């Protein structure tokens, strides 16, 4: 393994920092008093970037272009919309992500959000803690019985959610860019058609320009007044203004959200909605999974620097086109 100069724009985890620092020179941009001066001093030596997190640091084309000897961008996360992978690929720069290792924890959170939103678990917890149970019972809630879950994006995480949903006796349907061979669930050609056929819409599709506001006013209206929206993918997939209006007017029943369009900023109107459960993007936030994600980044770096190629290249990477 040859030593590389790596640059990490924003802190991710101690495990990742320590693991990369063992064999490589890791430049920690977040510690630099003058980040621009730091980049200027090391840009010719940097051969890889380490990115990750949500809303922390965007690896734009302009940022990438500062490093003339850049070979790779190793991203900690399954979604990599913070990285301009198209630009990287067009300039012969490999991009990797960390798929697979976070599927189970994200699927767990997705089902937890569905249960919380349907049965109003946070609200009933607050009811008890405020002493209101002493003077009355909590109102009846909706149920999961008889529901159909429409999964918007039946990838690895979507399939893990479907497995859990089947254990709850939920019917499953899905929409994606194409119908998948060997999948028995009913396929719907558009998000609107899927929403109309279900009363739980589970959003698990990738982020990016192609999917921005794929869940819009028309989709929410198709979901209907008994419908529940769950989003554990990216906030950009949902038109938040349309969602707030749908929640306020009863066009849908409830929403459970782990992601937001401009996080960590969450609209006050969404916070004020009593028929929501809101989490601060914690789908993969367990010690076990974050260490597994960091380890996959370390393994990708080791494989690349030893000449074996990337372990988990993304679709835009030039590596796949050359093999």
Residues 111, 134 share a domain: yes
Triad 243, 129, 268: Cα angle to 5°: 25
Of 24, 27, 147, 281, which residue is the catalytic one? Answer: 281
- % pLDDT > 90, the chain: 91
Residues 171, 47 share a domain: no
89's tokens: 């690929």
Specify the pLDDT at position 126: 97
Residue 323 pLDDT exceeds 60: no
DSSP 8-class letter at 310: -
Contacts of 173 (CB under 8 A, 6+ apart): 148, 149, 150, 151, 185, 186, 187, 188, 194, 197, 198
Of 24, 75, 234, 290, which residue is the catalytic one? Answer: 234
3-class state of residue 229 by DSSP? strand
Specify the pLDDT at position 321: 39
Residues 177, 260 share a domain: yes
Q: How many CB atoms lie within 10 A of CB 283?
A: 23
8 Å CB contact between 109 and 233:
no
3-class state of residue 231 by DSSP? strand
Mean pLDDT within 283-312: 95
Residue 322 pLDDT exceeds 60: no
Three-state DSSP string of 142-190: CCCCCCEEEEECCCHHHHHHHHHHHHCCCEEEEECCCCCCCCCCCECCC
Strand partners, 299: none
Q: Could you report the per-residue pLDDT of 191-204, keeping only the tens digit for each?
A: 999 999 999 999 99
Residues 192, 89 share a domain: no
**CATH code for position 152:** 3.40.50.720
* Site of tokens 């734009």: 60
8 Å CB contact between 139 and 186:
no
Contacts of 145 (CB under 8 A, 6+ apart): 169
- Residue 299: domain span: 5-100+287-322
Mean pLDDT within 55-77: 93
Mean pLDDT within 162-175: 98
Residues 198, 108 share a domain: yes
Q: Could you report the per-residue pLDDT of 229-273, keeping only the tens digit for each?
A: 999 999 999 999 999 999 999 999 999 999 999 988 999 999 999
3-class state of residue 27 by DSSP? strand
Residues 114, 71 share a domain: no
263 noted as active-site residue: yes
Q: Could you report the per-residue pLDDT of 35-64, keeping only the tens digit for each?
A: 999 999 999 999 999 999 765 689 999 999
Task: Give φ, ψ of 14 to 5 degrees.
Answer: -65, -40
Task: Give φ, ψ of 27 to 5 degrees.
Answer: -90, 120
Distance CA 307, CA 176 (A): 35
Number of domains in the chain: 2
Q: How confident is the model at residue 209 (pLDDT cuts 50, 70, 90)?
A: confident
What burial letters (b/e) apply to 83-113, b meaning 16+ CB within 10 Å?
bbbebbbeeebbbbbbbebbbbbbbbbbbbb
Residues 57, 112 share a domain: no
Residues 209, 185 share a domain: yes
- Average pLDDT over the chain, rounded to an integer: 95
49's tokens: 């970037």
24 noted as active-site residue: no
Residues 119, 256 share a domain: yes
Specify the pLDDT at position 294: 97
Residues 10, 153 share a domain: no
Residue 320 pLDDT exceeds 60: no
Specify the pLDDT at position 268: 97
Residues 226, 130 share a domain: yes
Q: Could you report the per-residue pLDDT of 114-126, keeping only the tens digit for each?
A: 999 999 999 999 9
Residues 121, 242 share a domain: yes
Residue 142 pLDDT exceeds 70: yes
Residue 218 pLDDT exceeds 90: yes
Triad 95, 96, 102: Cα angle to 5°: 150
Specify the pLDDT at position 72: 97
């Amino acid at each position: 393994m040859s030593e590389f100069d790596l640059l990490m724009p924003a802190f991710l985890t101690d495990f990742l920092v320590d693991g990369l620092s063992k064999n490589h020179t890791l430049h920690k941009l977040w510690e630099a008093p003058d980040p621009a001066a730091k980049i200027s001093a090391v840009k010719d030596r940097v051969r890889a970037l380490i990115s990750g997190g949500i809303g922390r640091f965007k690896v734009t084309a302009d940022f990438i272009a500062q490093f003339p000897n850049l070979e790779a961008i190793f991203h900690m996360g399954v979604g990599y919309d913070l990285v301009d992978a198209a630009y990287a690929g067009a300039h012969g720069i490999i991009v990797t992500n960390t798929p697979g290792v976070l599927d189970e924890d994200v699927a767990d959170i997705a089902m937890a959000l569905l249960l919380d939103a349907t049965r109003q678990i946070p609200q009933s917890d607050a009811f008890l803690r405020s002493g209101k149970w002493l003077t009355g019972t909590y109102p009846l809630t909706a149920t999961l019985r008889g529901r159909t879950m429409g999964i918007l994006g039946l990838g690895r995480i979507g399939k893990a959610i479907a497995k859990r949903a089947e254990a709850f006796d939920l019917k499953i349907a899905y929409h994606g860019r194409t119908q998948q061979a060997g999948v028995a669930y009913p396929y719907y050609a558009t998000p609107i058609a899927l929403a109309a056929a279900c009363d739980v819409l589970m959003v698990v599709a990738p982020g990016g320009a192609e999917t921005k506001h794929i869940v819009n006013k028309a989709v929410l209206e198709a979901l209907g007044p008994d419908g529940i929206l769950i989003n554990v993918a990216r906030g950009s997939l949902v038109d938040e203004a349309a969602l707030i209006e749908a929640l306020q007017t009863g066009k849908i029943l409830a929403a459970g959200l782990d992601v937001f369009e401009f996080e960590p900023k969450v609209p006050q109107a969404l916070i004020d909605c009593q028929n929501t459960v809101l989490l601060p993007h914690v789908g993969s936030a367990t010690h076990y999974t974050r260490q597994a994600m960091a380890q996959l980044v370390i393994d990708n770096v080791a494989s690349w620097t030893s000449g074996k190629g990337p372990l988990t290249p993304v679709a835009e990477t030039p590596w796949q086109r050359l093999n």
